[in-house]
Structures are given as C-alpha cells and as structure tokens.
C-alpha cells in the first residue's frame, strides 16, 4: 500500500514539475477561471459577485480535470512515459491517482483565493464550505475520467489540446455557473438544457450550501444523484477506453 502511494506521489510530482518550476505560469493557469469574476464584481451586485466566486471554485476543479487529457496524451504518445511505467510494473491506479493529484496542485491557488474572497465578503458556514468543496471534487472526479478517456483515445496533438478547451467553454462559461440559474427562468428550453450539464448541478449545490440561493429539496437530491451518476458513468467509459497496455 505504501509503495502504491509513493508511486502516485512521484508521478504527480513529475507531472506538475514544469508548473512548479515556473510559479507565475501556475498562477496564470489557476486564475484563468477568475476572468468573468472580475467583470461581475465591477458591474453586478455583491450577491452576484459571491455567486461568481463559488462558480470559479467549481470551474477551477473542472478545468484541471479536463486538462488531464493533455498529460495522458503526451505521456502516452509523445514522451512514451507510460510505456516506461508499464515496463516498470507501476500500477495503473497509481498512475491515474498521480496525474489527478498534479491537477489538484494546479487548482489549489485559485481555490484558496476564491475562498479568501468569499470569507472577506461575508460570513460563510464551515459546513457549507466543506460541502461546496465536496460537490466540486465530485464533479472533478467525473471530469478527470473524461480527460483520461480523451487523452487515451486521441492520436493527434492538436485535438488533445483543443478538445479540453472547447469543452471548458461549453461546460464552464455558457451554463449558469458564474450567474444564477434563475436568469434562465424566461427561457424554459434553455433552463432545461442547462440542467443536463454537470457543472450546473455542481454550481447550484455549492451556492445552495453557501446560502446564496434557495432551491427545493428535490433539486438538491437530483443534483447529488446526477453528480454521482455522472462520475460513475464517466469512470465506466474511461475504463473501457483508456487502456493501460495497448491491445
């Protein structure tokens, strides 16, 4: 067990090493999700600004999960690092956990900044903070599986770079993550479509436990069920598509 944990830590450190050696690049990447927050702080009220900060936390985790696809692709197709790990009998679970941990290192600065700003904006319940982080982590697990499936199946470097970026826009900036879901009340079709996107449920739950929105109990239960089902489904798909040893 200790050897597996050590393997995962070493792999995570190796994957995060380029960013750790250039801290400014780490700051730029981790704060990418804060761009809409700046405009909302300037042009909207305080409650909307706080909701945007919660959305930034959710999306910071989401982005790092999706961009695991780049590490998977380049380690497998470009550097052949995965072949070396297979030959050295490293556990595929250690490899997956290691790459996932390196993503959390990238997410940490942005999440800490958002939490500090939220605490400075007003009192926040400790339980709400923990549960909001739990919803974000659950979404992150599902999107890590998505990233692994993309990185393991694509054979083109441009697609490995572009697909996560397109998905980040589709999952992060278009759905009601930074802005409240109630903004779509006048557009029932758009609201129904937004409820099909996992980031919507994660953001709604996080805002609810922070006390920023009031949603009915059935919607809370639906959000948790959706995120759990999404993570389980993406895990199944990744296990079918992301081969540790190519057949």
* pLDDT tens for each residue of 66-87: 888 888 888 887 777 888 887 8
In terms of average pLDDT, the best of 66-70, 168-172, 189-193, 241-245 is 189-193
Alpha helices in 21-91 (DSSP H): 23-30, 35-43, 46-66, 68-73, 81-87
pTM above 0.85, yes or no: yes
Is residue 201 predicted with pLDDT exceeding 80? yes
pLDDT band at 221, cuts 50/70/90?
very high
For the residues 210-216, what does the mean pLDDT come to?
89
CA-derived radius of gyration, the chain: 18
**In this predicted structure, what is the pLDDT of residue 123?**
75
User: According to the model, what pLDDT value does residue 143 have?
Assistant: 92
Domain positions in the chain are 2-241
**Does the pLDDT of residue 191 top 80, yes or no?**
yes
CA distance linking residue 13 with residue 91, whole number of Å: 16
Q: Which of 43-52, 106-115, 153-162, 191-200 has the highest mean pLDDT?
A: 191-200
CA gap 206, 204 in Å, rounded: 6
C-alpha span between 215 and 73 (Å, rounded): 40
- For residue 23, is pLDDT > 80? no
1 membership: H or E segment, kind and range: none
What percent of the chain lies above the pLDDT cut of 70?
Answer: 97
pLDDT confidence of residue 247: 60
Which residues, in sequence order, are CB contacts of 73 under 8 Å at separation 6+? 150, 151, 152, 154, 157, 160
User: Mean pLDDT throughout 167-175?
Assistant: 86
Please state, rounded to an integer, the average pLDDT across all residues of the chain. 85
| pLDDT, average across residues 180-189 | 88
Judge residue 103's burial from the number of C-beta atoms within 10 Å of its C-beta, 0-12 exposed, 13-18 middle, 19 or more buried.
Answer: buried
Q: How confident is residue 47, by pLDDT bands cut at 50, 70 and 90?
A: confident
How far apart, in whole angstroms, are the C-alpha atoms of residue 135 and residue 201? 9
Of residues 94 and 225, more confidence is placed in: 225
CB half-sphere exposure, 199, CA atoms < 13 A: 27
Q: Assign 111 to helix, strand or coil.
A: helix
């Amino acid at each position: 067990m200790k050897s597996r944990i050590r393997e995962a830590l070493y792999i995570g450190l190796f994957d995060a090493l380029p960013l750790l050696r250039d801290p400014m690049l780490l700051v730029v990447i981790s704060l990418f999700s804060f761009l809409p927050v700046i405009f909302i702080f300037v042009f909207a009220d305080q409650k909307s600004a706080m909701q945007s900060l919660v959305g930034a936390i959710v999306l910071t985790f989401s982005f790092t999960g999706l961009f695991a696809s780049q590490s998977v692709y380049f380690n497998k197709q470009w550097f052949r690092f995965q072949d070396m790990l297979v030959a050295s009998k490293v556990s595929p679970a250690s490899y997956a956990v290691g790459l996932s941990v390196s993503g959390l290192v990238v997410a940490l600065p942005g999440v800490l900044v958002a939490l500090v700003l939220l605490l400075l904006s007003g009192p926040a319940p400790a339980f709400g903070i923990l549960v909001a982080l739990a919803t974000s982590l659950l979404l992150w697990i599902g999107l890590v599986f998505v990233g692994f499936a993309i990185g393991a199946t694509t054979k083109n470097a441009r697609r490995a770079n572009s697909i996560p970026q397109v998905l980040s826009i589709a999952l992060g900036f278009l759905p009601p993550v930074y802005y409240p879901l109630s903004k779509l009340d006048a557009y029932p079709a758009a609201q129904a479509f937004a409820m099909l996107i996992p980031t919507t449920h994660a953001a709604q739950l996080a805002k609810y436990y922070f006390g920023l929105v009031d949603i009915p109990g059935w919607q809370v239960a639906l959000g948790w069920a959706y995120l759990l089902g999404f993570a389980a489904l993406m895990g199944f798909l990744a296990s079918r598509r992301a081969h540790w040893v190519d057949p």
